[in-house]
Amino acid sequence: MHIKRVSSCYQQWRERLQRYNISVSDSDGSDSDLDESSSDREHSHREAAAAAAPVFNVPDLAPHDNFQDTTPSAPSPSDSPSELHRAATVTLEDIDDDELTDRMRQRFVESFPGDAGTPIRPGMTSFDEIRARQRTGDVGAWGPFEDEDDWMLARWLVRNVGQRQADELLKLGMISKRACPSYKNKRALLQKIDAIPTKGSKWHRDVVTVGGDKFDEKGQVMTEDLELWRRDPVECIRELFENPAFRDKLSYVPEHVYRDEAGNIRIYDEMWTADWWWDIQERLPKGATVAPVILSSDKTKLSQFRGDKAAWPVYLTIGNIEKSVRRQPSSHAMVLIGYLPVSKLDCFTEKTRALAGYRLFHFCMRRILEPLIQAGKDGVEMTIQSDVLLPAARRIVAPSAEFNGKILVILLTAFTAFKEEGLRAVDQPFWVDLPHSDIFTSLTPDLLHQLHKGLFKDHLVDWCFDVSKDSDIDDRFKCIPGYPGLRHFKNGISLVSQWTGTEFKEMERVFIGLLAGAINPVAAKTARAVLDFIYFAQFHTHTSDTLDALQAALREFHENKDVFVTLKAREHFNLPKLHAMKHYLDSIRSRGSPDGFNTELPERLHIDYAKDAYRASNKRDYVQQMTKWLERQESTELFTAYLDWAGITSSSSDAESDEDDGDESDDELLDDPEEPGTSDRLWLSCKPAHPSILGNISS
């Protein structure tokens, strides 16, 4: 188009159309047109462009080929001009924003045909019991505290101040003589906190004696005593069901959800919309409630610059809670149920130390999860906030851990060569007696470690660097212009030593664009297939159509991946994270969308349940101090929830202050708006957010 509206520009436009056998009448394109008014000239140009559009057919060019004039084939005589015109233009339809949202989120539910989640009799939760005790005078309205101010100060001190600083603050004259709290020092404060009526599950300490294969100076077998700290997982599940914050966020019955009324397009998002829950429900007695247990475990460092202190937390949540809620750290929907022992196992020789570590892991996990065995067989009665009692059969679903943790889980007893098969001689895996559990189908996709960090950063990025020029990709990252929503890697990416999940995602946004012209076209096509798979996999809601697209992206990758072998970037593709990709579709159909099992949340919880707790200790015998600190933190949070539930006080002001503070890690875990489905139409908002931009485009 002759944007500048000058004679030379217009003449070039005429010649270009004529090369493609598009006739331009002299009356529409004569030089005299340039002397017409601006509006008439623009109108004639638009008519010429519209007439040219139906037959403007440029064939696909091979990559890196020079542009050559090519005469396209004539349109089929059977195609009417109106049909050709519709095929070459964009259809604009004015539609209300609310109507579009409703259309894209329309859901048709097929309910479970049998009895599930049926109440059996009225019951009382722990909050109901505390309120009954308050009415009889056994417990004060504010628990052990005198009034609201006394409680609010204590809560602030426990949440935000260490014990030494709290003691100094309470001894200040401004506090002790003017505020006059009911506690004068840290000892009295902690006694008040321990007397709060709301209690979490108790911690238990087990001493595990490990006998090695080395001998000491006296010829005795060397042993080591290790500590296992655990809580009853059944009681932790009970607390989640009783929590009033989840009252409207819980589901007890499986269902099949469809996009259309005919039931042709299936929807998979929450765990109860997938197939596994439906299948398990059919095996249970009538009226029973399935409680899918989701576990996560990973070792984390506690000290950075001194010592080698580490902790190995084990987290638990249930699939009955909406995934958008349980993925938020502030919701406390994922709870800590244990600390596995961390030891170098010096009583073993170097040859057997690794195997001893695997066996220790399974022994401790079996000890922690032992209460779930009986609960899964016979069921446990639990009361929820709707004041009815439900029979809840506990079921193990998906131990969601990063891949290093899964290596400890995927073990078999076999008589073949263990080393060649990558197996370990563990006689009693922790999951062997758990009812209704198949550990190999329970290992759900891990978007963070398998895709963002593993497949993309550790593999694809390295392959592309190997097949490109020395610093070409790095230079392209440096040259990205500033744009809202895109990160500028001003120093490139090759020298960065520590990455986060957020940075992986920011790299993925621009990576395909940077590869254009930098690497082999087939390699770029393979990289695009990987990125397509990653973006499809992290959808919050999947349908039959999105799963087909996910499968197509995986197929395209496998069809073209050998280019990296040809270019000597890889020798083989025997990669565990690459192998895991083929199980994504089955896992989504079975357990729901992968974002509900993402390990970003457990990684974030390491701060609350491990690092902050360690900082609150004196660094000696720290695990015991960590459990006590967490116990008090949990009691404080539960009492806050109780006061809000009982109507004694409102947490609205606290919620507003928490939102103002804005935890960056929490923001990363919040659900993004769902992506609208693909369409052959262009949807324009009735009230666009940036009308000036649309105005410039239309002009």
List the domain boundaries for the chain: 7-66, 204-445, 447-597
Question: Where do the DSSP E strands lie in 176-261?
Answer: 204-215, 221-230, 255-258
The confidence score (pLDDT) of residue 396 equals 35
What amino acid occupies position 11?
Q
Mean pLDDT of 492-497: 79
Q: Where does the pLDDT of residue 493 fall: very low under 50, low under 70, confident under 90, or very high at 90 and above?
A: confident
Q: Which residues contact 610 (CB under 8 A, 6 or more apart)?
A: 300, 302, 311, 313, 626
Look at residue 32 and tell me whether its pLDDT is greater than 70: no
Cα–Cα distances in Å, from 562 out to 408, 429, 455, 523, 646?
Answer: 31, 38, 16, 9, 64
Q: Where does the pLDDT of residue 618 fall: very low under 50, low under 70, confident under 90, or very high at 90 and above?
A: confident
State pTM to two decimals.
Answer: 0.76
Look at residue 679 and tell me whether its pLDDT is greater than 70: no
DSSP structure class, residue 583: G
Among 324-328, 407-411, 510-514, 641-645, whose mean pLDDT is lowest?
Answer: 407-411
Report for 30-39, 87-96, 116-125, 188-197: range of highest mean pLDDT: 188-197
Look at residue 173 and tell me whether its pLDDT is greater than 60: yes
Residue of 289, 95, 180, 212 lying closest to 683 (CA atoms): 95
Look at residue 92 and tell me whether its pLDDT is greater than 90: no
Does 163 or 46 have the greater pLDDT score? 163
Look at residue 236 and tell me whether its pLDDT is greater than 80: yes
Q: How confident is the model over 356-377, as pLDDT tens digits?
A: 999 999 999 999 999 999 888 8
Q: How confident is the model over 514-538, as pLDDT tens digits?
A: 898 899 999 999 999 999 999 999 9
Torsion (CA) 113, 117, 120, 121 in degrees, nearest 10: -140
Integer Cα distance of 576 and 458 in angstroms: 12
Q: Which residues contact 453 (CB under 8 A, 6 or more apart)?
A: 499, 501, 504
Question: What's the burial of 69, exposed, middle or buried (CB within 10 Å: 0-12/13-18/19+)?
Answer: exposed
336 close to 239: Cβ distance less than 8 angstroms? no
Host H or E run for residue 588: helix 584-591
237 close to 394: Cβ distance less than 8 angstroms? yes
Q: Which residues contact 138 (CB under 8 A, 6 or more apart)?
A: none
Among 12-21, 153-162, 245-254, whose mean pLDDT is lowest?
Answer: 12-21
335 close to 315: Cβ distance less than 8 angstroms? yes
Using DSSP bridges, classify how beta strands 204-215 and 542-543 pair: parallel, antiparallel or unpaired: unpaired
Looking at every residue in the chain, the average pLDDT score rounds to 78
Mean pLDDT of 123-147: 87
The confidence score (pLDDT) of residue 103 equals 63
Q: How confident is the model over 447-459, as pLDDT tens digits?
A: 998 999 999 999 9
> Number of helices and strands (H, E) in the chain?
31, 15
Look at residue 277 and tell me whether its pLDDT is greater than 80: yes
Integer Cα distance of 684 and 92 in angstroms: 7
The confidence score (pLDDT) of residue 13 equals 67
What amino acid occupies position 460?
L
The confidence score (pLDDT) of residue 625 equals 93
Does 540 or 651 have the greater pLDDT score? 540
Q: Where does the pLDDT of residue 585 fall: very low under 50, low under 70, confident under 90, or very high at 90 and above?
A: very high
How crowded is residue 401: how many other Cβ atoms within 10 Å of its Cβ?
A: 24
The confidence score (pLDDT) of residue 422 equals 65
Phi, psi of 682 (to 5 degrees): -100, 120
Mean pLDDT of 327-333: 91
- For residue 200, the Cα-to-chain-centroid distance in whole angstroms is 27
Phi, psi of 435 (to 5 degrees): -70, 150
Share of the chain above pLDDT 90, in %: 40
How crowded is residue 205: how many other Cβ atoms within 10 Å of its Cβ?
A: 12
Mean pLDDT of 611-624: 90
The confidence score (pLDDT) of residue 420 equals 62
The separation between the first and the last C-alpha atoms of the chain, rounded to the nearest angstrom, is: 14
Integer Cα distance of 273 and 266 in angstroms: 9
Rg of the Cα atoms in the chain: 32
The confidence score (pLDDT) of residue 294 equals 92
Q: Where does the pLDDT of residue 383 fall: very low under 50, low under 70, confident under 90, or very high at 90 and above?
A: confident
- For residue 317, the Cα-to-chain-centroid distance in whole angstroms is 14
Report for 64-68, 302-306, 645-649: range of highest mean pLDDT: 645-649
The confidence score (pLDDT) of residue 646 equals 87
Look at residue 576 and tell me whether its pLDDT is greater than 90: no
Mean pLDDT of 660-670: 38
- For residue 335, the Cα-to-chain-centroid distance in whole angstroms is 17
Q: Which two tokens stand for residue 261?
A: 């009324």
The confidence score (pLDDT) of residue 425 equals 78
Does 390 or 251 have the greater pLDDT score? 251
Q: Which two tokens stand for residue 294?
A: 């989701």
Among 139-153, 271-285, 382-396, 439-453, whose mean pLDDT is lowest?
Answer: 382-396
Look-up: residue for tokens 């007893």? 413
Does 608 or 81 have the greater pLDDT score? 608
Does 380 or 659 have the greater pLDDT score? 380
Question: Where do the DSSP E strands lie in 310-385?
Answer: 310-318, 335-340, 380-383
The confidence score (pLDDT) of residue 402 equals 37
554 close to 582: Cβ distance less than 8 angstroms? yes
